[in-house]
């Protein structure tokens, strides 16, 4: 059990937690949080599995660095959409959802 | 020497985990904010201790950024989002 | 000699962090918990930083380590002030010992 | 001892993520999300990637946290004028 493997395992659990959150939670702000957790899990899997014998592979690290920036941009866009939706319809859930 | 530094880092992480659980379960909304204060100091300590263990001097810079951003996050939360109507107790 | 002094400082720092955690777990209200965390943890961090600076290889690295301490102290003073003022404004009353 | 450190860090990451999704109060969930980002930067430090740690602390926790808090404040003020 090396460091990379432990964090890759944690990343896999984190990813499934995030997917469950995105699917099951109706509140849109919380859904954005779950989406971010999902992305963090994927990043951990990428960097953790790329580490062999404690030597880090720089290519997945550069990819993850880009991915973090993209995730922030996606979060900002999603938040702008949620604000607009709330201003137009006054609710914080999508119309097809059952709860909330 | 490296073993002792790593042991101190592990001890600080255990402290952080216990205090995190205690602060997140606290009765008032202010207890949730204690977490920002906690991670500003303890997280900085852990990163500074990890720098000689892993032979990565750049971790000291990460510690600086962490200290700064914990402060910014905590103050932004206290100023911006933490509003409550009068008479509501939790 | 310097080796022993550095080890002793690291252990003292760990003790102060432990004291801060015990204070967080045992104290009755927000203000005293804030006091325990801000004071004990910053002292512990100062001891740890001094202990690490003693075994740094160059004077520039040691100065950089010691420079973190005032920054963290200023930051935690700011956060403590913001939390305490906000809690006071929201009407959280300080704890007092009941007199029989 | 490194294994114990990694396991403890991974467990606290997972606990924070779970509480972020499960807390009933939204403001506390936002604080826990910021804490999750800061813990992630500790994890990047353990994975020998200090550059990602810097980016995660500054962008992932700081910028995303500020955006979320701002949106929360606006939505909250709109609900209760």
Question: CA D80, CA A77: separation in Å to the nearest integer?
Answer: 25
Q: What is the pLDDT of residue B33?
A: 77
Residue B90, pLDDT above cutoff 60? no
Cα A98 to Cα B51: distance, rounded to the nearest angstrom: 49
Please report which helix (H) or strand (E) contains residue B31, including its range: helix B29-54
pLDDT at C99: 66
- DSSP symbol at A52: B
Residue B48 domain-assigned (yes or no): yes
pLDDT band with cut points at 50, 70 and 90 for residue A54: low
CATH architecture of the domain with range A3-89? Orthogonal Bundle (1.10)
Instruction: Confirm or reject contact between C12 and chain B (CB < 8 A).
Output: no
* Alpha helix ranges (H) inside chain D: 2-22, 26-46, 50-55, 64-79
For tokens 């100062």, the residue is C46
Give the distance from CA A60 to its chain's centroid: 17
| Whether residue C44 has pLDDT greater than 80 | yes
Q: Helix or strand or coil: residue A55? A: strand
CB atoms within 10 A of CB A62: 12
Q: Provide mean pLDDT across the span C49-65.
A: 90
Q: Which residues constitute the domain of residue C76? A: 2-89
- Interface probe for B, chosen from D1, D2, D31 (most Cβ of B below 10 Å), is D31
- How many structural domains comprise chain C? 1
Confidence check: pLDDT of B88 > 60: no
Residue span of the structural domain in which B27 resides: 2-81
Q: With pLDDT > 90 as the criterion, what percentage of chain D qualifies? A: 42
Evaluate if residue A100 carries a pLDDT over 90. Answer: no
Q: Say if D75 is an interface residue toward chain B (CB within 8 Å).
A: no
Segment B10-26, tens digit of pLDDT: 999 999 999 888 888 87
The length of chain A in residues reads: 100
Cα dihedral B64, B66, B68, B73, rounded to 10, equals: 180
pLDDT tens-digit profile of C16-28? 999 999 988 888 8
Q: How far apart are CA C2 and CA A10, in angstroms?
A: 40
- CA–CA gap between residue A93 and residue A78 (Å, rounded): 13
First to last CA, chain B: 47
pLDDT of residue C98: 73
Q: Which residues lie across from A52 on neighbouring strands?
A: A55
Q: How far is CA D80 from CA A27, B85, C14, D66, D73, in A?
A: 18, 9, 46, 21, 11
Interface test with D, best of B77, B78, B83 (most D CBs within 10 A): B77
Which residue in the block uniquely carries the two structure tokens 């002030």? Answer: C81
pLDDT of residue A18: 95
What is the domain partition of chain D in residue ranges?
2-14+24-79
Q: Is residue C76 part of a domain?
A: yes
Q: If pLDDT is split at 50, 70 and 90, which confidence band does A97 have?
A: low
Rounded distance between C-alpha atoms, residue B1 and residue A51, angstroms: 26
Distance between CA atoms of residues A14 and A38, nearest Å: 6
Q: How many domains does chain B have?
A: 1
The count of other CB atoms within 10 Å of the CB of residue A28 is 22
Angle between helices D26-46 and A3-24 (to 10 degrees): 160
- Domain positions in chain A: 3-89
Chains that touch C (3 or more CB pairs under 8 A): B
The CA distance from A4 to the nearest CA of chain D, in Å, is 7
pLDDT at A82: 92
Q: Is D15 exposed, middle or buried (0-12, 13-18, 19+ CB in 10 A)?
A: middle
Lowest mean pLDDT among A22-31, A46-55, B46-55, C4-13: A46-55
* Residue B85: pLDDT over 60: no
Cβ contact (<8 Å) for C17 and B1?
no
Q: What is the mean pLDDT of chain D?
A: 88
End-to-end distance of chain D based on CA atoms, in angstroms? 54
Residue of B nearest to D50 (CA): B59
CA angle, residues B23, D10, A45, in degrees to nearest 5: 135
The Cα D72–Cα D80 span in angstroms is 12
Q: Distance between CA atoms of B56 and A10, rounded to whole angstroms?
A: 23
Pick from A43-57, A81-95, C49-63 the range whose average pLDDT is largest. C49-63
Residue C16 lies in a domain: yes
pLDDT exceeding 90 applies to what percent of chain A? Answer: 59
Contact B70 D38 (CB under 8 A): yes
Is B21 within the bounds of a domain?
Answer: yes
3+ Cβ–Cβ pairs closer than 8 Å linking B and D: yes
* Surface of B (27-86) touching C: CB under 8 A: 28-31, 33-34, 36-38, 40-42, 44-45, 48-49, 52, 57, 60, 63-64, 67-68, 70-71, 74-75, 78-79, 82, 84, 86
| Average pLDDT taken over every residue of chain B | 82
CA angle A36, A42, B70 (to 5 degrees): 45
**Closest listed residue to residue A31, CA positions, set B88, D68, C32, D78:** D68
């Amino acid at each position: 059990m090396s460091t990379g493997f432990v964090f890759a395992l944690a990343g896999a659990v984190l990813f499934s937690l995030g997917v469950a959150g995105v699917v099951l939670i109706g509140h849109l702000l919380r859904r954005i949080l779950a989406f971010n957790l999902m992305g963090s899990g994927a990043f951990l899997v990428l960097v953790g599995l790329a580490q062999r014998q404690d030597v880090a592979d720089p290519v997945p690290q550069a990819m993850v660095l880009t991915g973090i920036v993209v995730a922030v941009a996606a979060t900002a866009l999603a938040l702008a959409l949620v604000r607009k939706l709330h201003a137009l319809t006054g609710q914080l859930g999508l119309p097809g959802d059952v709860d909330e | 020497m490296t073993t002792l530094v790593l042991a101190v880092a592990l001890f600080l992480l255990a402290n952080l985990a216990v205090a995190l659980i205690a602060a997140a379960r606290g009765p008032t909304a202010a207890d949730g904010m204690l977490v920002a204060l906690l991670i500003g100091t303890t997280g900085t300590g852990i990163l500074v201790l990890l720098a000689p263990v892993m032979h990565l001097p750049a971790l000291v810079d990460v510690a600086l950024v962490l200290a700064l951003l914990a402060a910014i996050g905590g103050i932004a939360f206290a100023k911006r989002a933490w509003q409550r109507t009068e008479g509501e107790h939790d | 000699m310097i080796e022993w002094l550095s080890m002793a400082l690291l252990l003292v720092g760990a003790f102060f962090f432990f004291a801060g955690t015990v204070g967080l777990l045992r104290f009755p209200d927000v203000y005293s918990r804030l006091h325990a965390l801000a004071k004990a943890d910053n002292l512990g961090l100062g001891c740890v930083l001094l202990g690490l600076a003693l075994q740094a290889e160059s004077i520039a690295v040691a100065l950089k380590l010691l420079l973190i301490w005032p920054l963290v102290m200023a930051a935690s003073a700011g956060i403590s002030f913001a939390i305490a003022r906000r809690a006071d404004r929201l009407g959280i009353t300080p704890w007092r010992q009941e007199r029989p | 001892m490194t294994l114990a450190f990694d396991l403890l860090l991974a467990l606290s990451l997972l606990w924070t993520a779970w509480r972020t999704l499960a807390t009933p109060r939204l403001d506390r969930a936002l604080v826990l999300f910021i804490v999750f980002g800061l813990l992630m930067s500790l994890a990047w430090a353990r994975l020998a990637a200090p550059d990602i740690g810097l980016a995660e602390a500054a962008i992932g926790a700081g910028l995303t946290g500020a955006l979320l808090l701002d949106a929360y404040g606006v939505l909250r003020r709109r609900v209760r004028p």
